[in-house]
Amino acid sequence: MSLLQEPLSHFLEELSSSSPAPGGGAAAALAGALAAGLIAMVAGLTLGKRGYEGAEEEMKEALAEARALRDRLAGLIEADIAAFEEVMAAYRLPKGDPARPGALEAALKRACAVPLETAEQCLRALELSKLVIARGNKNAKSDARAAAALAAAGLEAALLNVEVNLQAMEDKEFARECRERAQELATAGEKAKALAMAYKGLQEAN
């Protein structure tokens, strides 16, 4: 049974244990999944409501995309745990084993790729939160803003995990490319969060 099929209390217990996995990367993905769930909720609370007829199609699209984001980010929780375990397995290989350097490098690249995707998905959730803040049901505006805050937190936490895994990597070109992409995501995330928090709701703006 996967961790996601266990009760939330079990996940939290595992997260707070002395075991290094699940760790920050899994928590980042969870924050993003929670953000996407809130976006879906706000979109659903807007559909069919009087005064929001002009936002109907946008909310339908937002609902579908938010659900897809939620599911992908939930999958990245498990992927992050698996990537960490792969790194640990590579470190456990005997230092004299000729397969060790290659196995470790491949595992570290995987351990960078997963949180980098988590950051990308969180950024998309952050961008989507701007839509539901601006066009969604004003009675759920705090939920939409909470989604933006969670997505931004997930993005930032994921990028911290990218950097820590890059430090031990031998492939400097790969590391450079990852750092550049991480910086792009960080910059875009900061701008998106600032815009999301500055938006007025649809009815308030009219």
Q: The domain spanning residue 124 has which CATH number? A: 1.20.120.680
> Range with the lowest mean pLDDT among 122-126, 161-165, 196-200?
196-200
Q: pLDDT tier at 3 (50, 70, 90 boundaries)?
A: low
Q: Which domain holds residue 41?
A: 22-205
- The answer to whether position 4 is within a domain reads no
- The answer to whether position 2 is within a domain reads no
- The answer to whether position 13 is within a domain reads no
Please state, for a pLDDT cut of 90, what percent of the chain lies above it: 79
Number of domains in the chain: 1
Q: What is the pTM of this model?
A: 0.91
- The answer to whether position 3 is within a domain reads no
Q: Is the pLDDT of residue 177 over 70?
A: yes
Question: If DSSP states are collapsed to H, E and C, what string results for the chain?
Answer: CCHHHCCHHHHHHHHCCCCCCCCHHHHHHHHHHHHHHHHHHHHHHHCCCCCCHHHHHHHHHHHHHHHHHHHHHHHHHHHHHHHHHHHHHHHHCCCCCCCHHHHHHHHHHHHHHHHHHHHHHHHHHHHHHHHHHHHCCHHHHHHHHHHHHHHHHHHHHHHHHHHHHHCCCCCHHHHHHHHHHHHHHHHHHHHHHHHHHHCCCHHHHC
- The answer to whether position 11 is within a domain reads no
- The answer to whether position 56 is within a domain reads yes
